Structure 1
Amino acid sequence: MKKSIALFSLICLSLWFCLSARHGSLQAEESIFHYPVIDVTASVHDGNVPENTLDDNLSTRWSAQGIGQWIQYDLGSRQQLGYLGLGFYNGDIRSTTVDIELSIDGEEWNKVVEQQESSGTSINLEAFDFADQEARFVRIIGYGNSRNDWNSITAAHIYPPNPDGPIVEELEAIDPGPVPDADPFTKAGLYYPDKTPYTPPSPHPVTGKTIHVTDFGADLRDNSNDDTLAINAAIQAAEPGDEVYFPNGTYNLKGTMENDFTSHIYLKDEVNLRGETKTGVLLISDFDMREVPNSKVMTAYGKKDLTISNLTITSTFDGNYSENPSENNPDRGGPAYGIFIADSAGQPSHHITVSNITIEKFQRMGVRIEKSNRNTVEHATFKNATDVGGGGAGYGVGIQGIQGIDRLGHANDTYFNVVKNSHFEGPYLRHGTLIQNYAHNNLVEHNTYQGVIHDAVDLHGQREYLNEIRHNHLDDIPRGGIGVGNTGGTPPNSHSASGSGNYIHHNTLKDTRDGIIVMMGSPGTVIENNKIMHTSTPPNAKGIYLLNAPGTLVKNNKIVNNNAEGFWGIFIAEDDGDTRNGGKGAGIPKNILVEKNKLIGNTNGIRVEAGKEITIKDNIIRRTAGEDYINLIGDESISQALVPSDDALIDFEKPDVNYGVMDQDLIDTGDPDRNFYKYFNIKQNSAGSKGRMALYQFDLHDLEEIESAELQLTGKTGSNTSSVTLAVYGILNNEWQEDTITWRSAPNVGSEKVEITGIGDSAFYLGAITVDQSEPTLHELDVTAFVEEYGTEAISFLVADIQGQNGNVNIYSKEETNETRSPALYITTKP
């Protein structure tokens, strides 16, 4: 085989000389012959394997940290060599220094280039010339780059001599983008492009034997022994279907993989790792990321079908912790990553489950899932990151694709990864869960985030799209809860907008600054059915904060009891963008719909400072200490919910029982929900001589140009009742008082039986609602004509059973736990 390759090389070389003689010197953009390589090896790598330098893809690389690390090429036979073409990772912003050595036999080496620097201005191939000579092996020795001691080569061409001097190809910096015929995903979360659901599989089962690490020499005591070799030996001895078992004990990790000095342990296809108990098995890494920046405790490159469970990953870090996200901790240490899951040569890791583990004392990410899909992190705990400053420090779980490149349709696209039922414990975490770099259709659900200091769930502003964030609990997040879009990063791949269609719903956020923020032009975010409550600090916090967030939908959220100074429930404003990166992401909000949200008991309600095509409608705003609504653009119809005026909501019964007033005996119980009866019970007997009715009054003083009005009542059937129809009347008498009204003094009520008087004169039939559900159900009645005709300073409504149906209907009234179901009059004013 090697003789055939050598013959092919000689033929190619002859052809090259013929072409050169015929056409003269070749231009850089033309194809130039370079020798084929039959084998490539390296002293070490960090998962970016040496084979990546042979694919002519400038987005892949070989990387190794440290002065003197090398990569070596075998041409299969002796050839006449003239120069090399080398491309370097980030070669346009930093220079790299290398030696080049040649050998005929792979044992005796001749240094032909010493300490030569790349230009620092190009990501493409650069020529490294030397005296023409014969060799079979080529070795490149790295001396780091102008920023650090990493050696990263993206492409290598080995050329024969050229009489016109060294000429290299101009490799195309290919952005492969999506596969052209790949079906796009269209529904957020775990759904295929055709919207059929994806069901994550159960954790990989054990079908073979259990292999104890102690049988390979692992020591359960916390001492100076290195258990790394024994653990890796046990993994290598395992067959598919086996599990490697860790009895309770302390495992000291000091060694690394033979060819990867950045990893303690390599995972293996279809081989589980299981500890006896989560708290009883401690894997203690001695990595210090300041010395090995890309260090990892466990690594999976292109691995599949395995489970890691029931253990704790920690480190020997004993420095000071920091809570300051504006500065990196000078004492930071420990491994960069706890578990690193990534692709290999374009093939993803998949169906890996990380379950019931704790990861702490790491510097960058507890679990990193990169260019991989269908992996799950569940029932895990993340805490005590050694740094929470910028530059990727202190993330619990990171899910990411390739920076700036959409891999839709490729094998290593990042999708269907799940983070669930896990706990993220601050204050020593910057972000709990992070998604970035075109990662899509991932799910984050049923997690708790406590005291995480900066966007507990962060869609990091690099085109991540259609991810679903649901049923999470966030508590005491001082600098942001759920973030969509981001500033920062390094050009040209600095952060900006998230992608479209991210779905944030049914999350509960307590005492969280800027509970949900969408910024930097992130489009099409759906925010619904979230609860944002009890924000007491810091000042000027926001419940839902929209900055240049085109196409955002904000619907059915409950924002309640947030009393921080300057708090706004929903705040819509212009985004100045990232001023450090040329104002990237700047703009005004457009095409935003805010509807049917409930804002109750907050410092302030809704504020619109800038935007176009902003629609605010059907929102309930009650018990606001400051401003209910401020609109500074004034180009849209505004809907708001009026609640019954003080002393203007009453349920009374013949002859003189008043059920709507406060009852001191109930107040004295100390239960705020017992200050009033829970429901209005509207009914009558068959003769109509006894019954109960309800009156509501709404203050219209501050409203002008009313466009529409809708009375909303939430009710349910009472005991032994299947259905009752209630008549609704508008009445002109607004002088009644809640604390004094009875049947005898009520306006438009007959004195002998349940009947409405003054119809067509002082009482007007507006319609009826039928209550026929045993669960609370909203009923709506258009009362626009009556309000437009008679609504000046106040308006009153009377509700009664006038058919003698002899049934109980419960209409929600005043108790605090059901205040969002209380009667309301929705008013839309004209623009």
Structure 2
Amino acid sequence: MKSRIVWFSLVCLSLWACLSVLPDNSLHAAETVSHYPVIDVSASVHDGNVPENTLDDNLSTRWSAQGNGQWIQYDLGSIQELGYLGLAFYNGDIRSTTVDIELSIDGEEWSRVVEQQESSGTSINLEAFDFPDQEARYVRIIGHGNSRNDWNSMTAAHIYPPNPDGPIVEELEAIDPGPVPDAQPFTKAGLYYPDKTPYTPPSPHPVTGKTIHVTDFGADLQDNSNDDTAAINAAIQAADPGDEVYFPDGTYNLNSTMDNDFTSHIYLKDEVNLRGETETGVLLVSDFDMNDVPNSKVMTAYGKHDLTISNLTITSTFDGNYSENPSENNPDRGGPAYGIFVADSAGQPSHHITVNNITIEKFQRMGVRIEKSNRNTVEQVTFRNATDVGGGGAGYGVGIQGIQGIDRLGHANDTYFNVVKNSHFEGPYLRHGSLIQNYAHNNLVEHNTYRGIIHDAVDLHGQREYLNEVRHNHLVNIPRGGIGVGNTGGTPPNSHSASGAGNYIHHNTLKDTRDGIIVMMGSPETVIKSNKVMHTSTPANAKGIYLLNAPGTIVKNNKIVNNNAEGFWGIFIAEDDGDTRNGGKGAGIPENILVEKNKLIGNSNGIRVEAGKEIRINDNIIRRTAGEDYVNLIEDEPISQSLAPSDDALIDFERPESNYGVMNKDLIDTGAPDRNFYKYFNIKQNPAGSKGRMALYQFDLHDFEGIESAELQLTGKTGSNTSSVTLAVYGVLSNEWQEDSVTWSNAPNVAADRVEVTGIGDSAFFLGTITVDQAETTLHELDVTAFVEEYGTEAISFLVADTQGQNGNINLYSKEETNETRRPALKITAKP
């Protein structure tokens, strides 16, 4: 090979720059070429994308380091004859990267063989970097940034022996990073394994060893120029598994970084807890400015497990002006990008990390980021005062995410079983409270409070996240949305669009939110159940539940109450125009929608359907609507609807197991007179108490606060055999009876052997009487304000009966009456 080296030295000096990068000299699938195995890899620094990622031949993983002169180094284990390198770069098809290459026999003295050479900027695959053949054991690649910024990001490196045919590199196949072929799919939302058995999050990692004080390693407690970073990291490194590192109350100034990661102040350690004395008394103050260090983090966990961070505040030296304008980035933004950064390392996830009872503030991107990791918990954490709420990922409380565009089902670093609970998200300086994206699945967001968040407080961000559960959260004053499923925006080809299937949103309370719950962009099979949307006063044209191209969505048992914003609609179903900035991505009409058994009371408008097909609207209650109860603008496809009042039932002393409150074919088949009870209640009695009937009514009060007055309204008329019947009305404390199963034998406040109301003065309270004495249908009203105010909580029940034995028949209409104006009602006026 000496002659080949001489030829290069004599002939190719003037052509060196042209031949040093040969992107077309790659092997096709049928060809083979061998490269040296690497026994060790290291780097000057990294940002969590570790140098080992360049050895897996996976073009979706990388080593990254910011700054001119950062390097990555390979050890072949012994001296070899080297001929050229094959290097692949992150985003190599849209930007060129400039590098030097140095070789060494001993790792001490280096020879530069390539200087300031650029990659092609047209390929993500291996490209040949040639140099004169030379013996070496160590190879160092020094980065000088890329054509867009000063980041050095390399996805793969091969080191080749000399080749008489010239430098030829393999063409790496894009490894299919999708699900493991035999991985069992998850099928139930929330914390459930694929076989639907529940996953129970473990308790926070316990301390079984010693307590290590950071002050013993040189940290002081004063807010001064002393840098406490090294002392904190030294204390962590001195800890053994089971130990905890303890922070007495004080201010800890973080002015430096890890030796090998200029983007992080503190590295966490397996099975070592960090605990402060008190949440408000321990302040970790970062001097990072994201404008200078874009990927900066206060605490970092790469592939770590079994540890707890508790009782402290993470903050920064940021002292600029805050902005609550989501349309543009804050010119004064600063502070670290992330408070706590939890991610995988070389494909191994971080897991069983608990963040508990802390405050995170003055960050720019996310307070806590959980990436490519699973089984972590964020609880009792306060997020506030992000320094930016503009676009591009600013101002998120908690972000849970997998890999953009890649489903990692079955892989170790799949993103699932992460929990955010019992935490507080305080606006207005947060863009999103909790965000889930990028194929993250089966995560749980529960029992959190979101107040004044700028955009969707809980955001399923439109990157195929699926089977996540959002439940029992309290959202107040969200001016630009409440809970969002699917999203516009982002940069092609990975712009946002639809969320994945099966996300489950239930038992949340949303007060004064613009679009309480919105499903858009073709996000499929979302279940929206038993949520409360209430008291929306602004802005105009807000919606309670808003469905845009939301195939297979189920909207059931929700309560939408007292939303009086101008143009408000309780449930709004319409066509989605998609993301007009990204070619209309996500456009379409709703299809196969079920809207069932929802209660819409006291709103500006009820249900509006503008577009869609296979829309089913059944058994919803719409009352006291200021404008339109129901509008259907689909002309070519009729939509079924059935509106019903609150629960009621009739119980019969003559037939103690009979129930007339719901349709019962067996009773109908017995013939008259029972058939007519499905249209109205026939109240009858006799002086001996040997026969009689009583009516029960139940009204849902979940969404009423500050009741000013309550009026029970019943409609009836006399029968053919009587001119007048007076009925007693009682308020009863039991709400346990069920409309479809209550009978005389199990009804509350009814004597077993005679027609009598029991529990008077204890659990049944006489409220007054109504007298039915007109042959024409007449409305009867009774003031029940005092009873509702004193005993009304989630629901309230009334019992109506002839207690005088008048032996007369009257027709008292029930919820089965086809004319809804005759149905019973509880008219409530709320306090202003």
For this structure pair, what is the TM-score category when the shorter chain's length is used for normalisation?
0.7 to 0.9
Matched residue of 1:638: which SS?
Answer: coil
- 1:328 to 2:317 alignment: no
Amino acid at match of 1:396: G
Task: State whether residues 317 and 334 of structure 1, in contact with CA within 8 Å, keep that contact through their aligned partners in structure 2.
Answer: yes
Matched residue of 2:42: which SS?
Answer: strand
Cα 1:751/1:198, change in 2 over 3 Å: closer
- The RMSD of aligned alpha carbons is 3.3
- 1:28 to 2:28 alignment: yes
Cα 1:115/1:754, change in 2 over 3 Å: farther
Q: What residue in structure 1 maps to residue 410 of structure 2?
A: 409
> For 1:11-50, what per-residue CA distance to the aligned partner results, in whole angstroms no more than 9, with x for missing partners?
xxxxxxxxxxxxxx98433221111112111100111111
Task: State whether residues 517 and 544 of structure 2, in contact with CA within 8 Å, keep that contact through their aligned partners in structure 1.
Answer: yes
> For 1:397-421, what per-residue CA distance to the aligned partner results, in whole angstroms no more than 9, with x for missing partners?
0111111111111111111110000
State the Cα distance separating 1:675 from its structure 2 match: 4.5
Structure 2: how far apart are the matches of 1:494 and 1:671?
45
Cα 1:211/1:739, change in 2 over 3 Å: closer
TM normalised by structure 1 equals 0.80
- 1:736 to 2:778 alignment: yes
> For 1:341-395, what per-residue CA distance to the aligned partner results, in whole angstroms no more than 9, with x for missing partners?
1111111111110000000001111001111111100000000111111111111
- 1:638 to 2:640 alignment: yes
State the Cα distance separating 1:490 from its structure 2 match: 1.6
Amino acid at match of 1:472: N
Q: What residue in structure 1 maps to residue 316 of structure 2?
A: 315
Amino acid at match of 2:374: N
Structure 1: how far apart are the matches of 2:706 and 2:518?
35
- 1:373 to 2:374 alignment: yes
Q: What residue in structure 2 maps to residue 535 of structure 1?
A: 536
Task: State whether residues 26 and 126 of structure 2, in contact with CA within 8 Å, keep that contact through their aligned partners in structure 1.
Answer: no
Matched residue of 2:54: which SS?
Answer: helix
- Please list, as runs of the form range in 1=range in 2, the aligned pairs for 1:476-555 lying within 5 A after superposition: 476-555=477-556
Q: What residue in structure 1 maps to residue 65 of structure 2?
A: 64
Task: State whether residues 617 and 639 of structure 2, in contact with CA within 8 Å, keep that contact through their aligned partners in structure 1.
Answer: yes
State the Cα distance separating 1:136 from its structure 2 match: 2.1
Structure 2: how far apart are the matches of 1:187 and 1:367?
26
Q: What residue in structure 1 maps to residue 827 of structure 2?
A: 814
Structure 2: how far apart are the matches of 1:311 and 1:44?
28
- Please list, as runs of the form range in 1=range in 2, the aligned pairs for 1:294-693 lying within 5 A after superposition: 294-634=295-635, 635-641=637-643, 672=707, 674-676=709-711, 691-692=726-727
Task: State whether residues 298 and 339 of structure 1, in contact with CA within 8 Å, keep that contact through their aligned partners in structure 2.
Answer: yes
> For 1:213-261, what per-residue CA distance to the aligned partner results, in whole angstroms no more than 9, with x for missing partners?
0011101000000001110111111111111000000000011111111
Amino acid at match of 1:203: P
Cα 1:367/1:737, change in 2 over 3 Å: closer
Matched residue of 2:233: which SS?
Answer: helix
Amino acid at match of 2:643: A
Q: What residue in structure 1 maps to residue 249 of structure 2?
A: 248
Cα 1:751/1:260, change in 2 over 3 Å: closer
State the Cα distance separating 1:134 from its structure 2 match: 2.5
Structure 2: how far apart are the matches of 1:533 and 1:754?
46
Structure 2: how far apart are the matches of 1:125 and 1:26?
8
Structure 2: how far apart are the matches of 1:298 and 1:546?
39
Matched residue of 1:453: which SS?
Answer: coil
Structure 2: how far apart are the matches of 1:114 and 1:184?
50
Structure 1: how far apart are the matches of 2:293 and 2:821?
73
Structure 1: how far apart are the matches of 2:136 and 2:67?
27
Structure 1: how far apart are the matches of 2:586 and 2:822?
49
Task: State whether residues 405 and 438 of structure 2, in contact with CA within 8 Å, keep that contact through their aligned partners in structure 1.
Answer: yes
State the Cα distance separating 1:690 from its structure 2 match: 7.5
Cα 1:264/1:594, change in 2 over 3 Å: same
Amino acid at match of 1:638: S
State the Cα distance separating 1:736 from its structure 2 match: 3.4
Q: What residue in structure 2 maps to residue 284 of structure 1?
A: 285
Q: What residue in structure 2 maps to residue 274 of structure 1?
A: 275
Structure 2: how far apart are the matches of 1:238 and 1:232?
10
State the Cα distance separating 1:713 from its structure 2 match: 13
Structure 1: how far apart are the matches of 2:753 and 2:374?
52
Amino acid at match of 2:529: E
Structure 1: how far apart are the matches of 2:479 and 2:747?
44
State the Cα distance separating 1:151 from its structure 2 match: 0.7
> For 1:763-802, what per-residue CA distance to the aligned partner results, in whole angstroms no more than 9, with x for missing partners?
7x99xxxxxxxxxxxx964x5xxx5xxx7xx8758xxxxx
Amino acid at match of 1:527: I
Cα 1:310/1:722, change in 2 over 3 Å: farther
Amino acid at match of 2:136: A
- Please list, as runs of the form range in 1=range in 2, the aligned pairs for 1:258-273 lying within 5 A after superposition: 258-273=259-274
Structure 2 spans left out of the alignment, 5+ residues: 1-24, 647-679, 686-704, 718-722, 730-738, 757-771, 783-801
Amino acid at match of 1:360: E
Moved more, 500-509 or 142-151: 142-151
Task: State whether residues 732 and 796 of structure 1, in contact with CA within 8 Å, keep that contact through their aligned partners in structure 2.
Answer: no
Q: What residue in structure 1 maps to residue 809 of structure 2?
A: 756
Matched residue of 1:231: which SS?
Answer: helix
Amino acid at match of 1:515: G
Percent identity at matched positions?
79
State the Cα distance separating 1:314 from its structure 2 match: 0.3
Q: What residue in structure 1 maps to residue 661 of structure 2?
A: none
Matched residue of 1:53: which SS?
Answer: helix
Matched residue of 2:133: which SS?
Answer: strand
> For 1:122-179, what per-residue CA distance to the aligned partner results, in whole angstroms no more than 9, with x for missing partners?
2111122222322222111111122221111000011222233222111111122111
Task: State whether residues 653 and 691 of structure 1, in contact with CA within 8 Å, keep that contact through their aligned partners in structure 2.
Answer: no
Structure 1: how far apart are the matches of 2:753 and 2:411?
58
Task: State whether residues 533 and 561 of structure 1, in contact with CA within 8 Å, keep that contact through their aligned partners in structure 2.
Answer: yes
Task: State whether residues 524 and 552 of structure 1, in contact with CA within 8 Å, keep that contact through their aligned partners in structure 2.
Answer: yes
- Please list, as runs of the form range in 1=range in 2, the aligned pairs for 1:68-217 lying within 5 A after superposition: 68-217=69-218
Task: State whether residues 250 and 283 of structure 1, in contact with CA within 8 Å, keep that contact through their aligned partners in structure 2.
Answer: yes
Task: State whether residues 732 and 795 of structure 1, in contact with CA within 8 Å, keep that contact through their aligned partners in structure 2.
Answer: no
Amino acid at match of 2:808: E
Structure 2: how far apart are the matches of 1:739 and 1:641?
22
Q: What residue in structure 2 maps to residue 43 of structure 1?
A: 44
Matched residue of 2:515: which SS?
Answer: coil
Structure 2: how far apart are the matches of 1:127 and 1:40?
20
> For 1:84-109, what per-residue CA distance to the aligned partner results, in whole angstroms no more than 9, with x for missing partners?
11111111222211111222222222
Task: State whether residues 268 and 300 of structure 1, in contact with CA within 8 Å, keep that contact through their aligned partners in structure 2.
Answer: yes
Cα 1:58/1:691, change in 2 over 3 Å: same
Amino acid at match of 1:814: K
Structure 2: how far apart are the matches of 1:518 and 1:671?
32
TM normalised by structure 2 equals 0.80
Cα 1:347/1:672, change in 2 over 3 Å: closer
Structure 1 spans left out of the alignment, 5+ residues: 1-24, 655-669, 683-687, 695-710, 741-748, 758-762, 767-778, 798-810, 819-831
Moved more, 162-171 or 470-479: 162-171
Structure 1: how far apart are the matches of 2:194 and 2:582?
35
Task: State whether residues 398 and 434 of structure 2, in contact with CA within 8 Å, keep that contact through their aligned partners in structure 1.
Answer: yes
Structure 2: how far apart are the matches of 1:689 and 1:356?
67
Structure 2: how far apart are the matches of 1:241 and 1:410?
28
State the Cα distance separating 1:609 from its structure 2 match: 0.9
Matched residue of 1:515: which SS?
Answer: strand
Amino acid at match of 2:727: R
- Please list, as runs of the form range in 1=range in 2, the aligned pairs for 1:694-773 lying within 5 A after superposition: 717=747, 719=749, 721=751, 734=776, 736=778, 738=780, 753-756=806-809
Task: State whether residues 439 and 464 of structure 1, in contact with CA within 8 Å, keep that contact through their aligned partners in structure 2.
Answer: yes
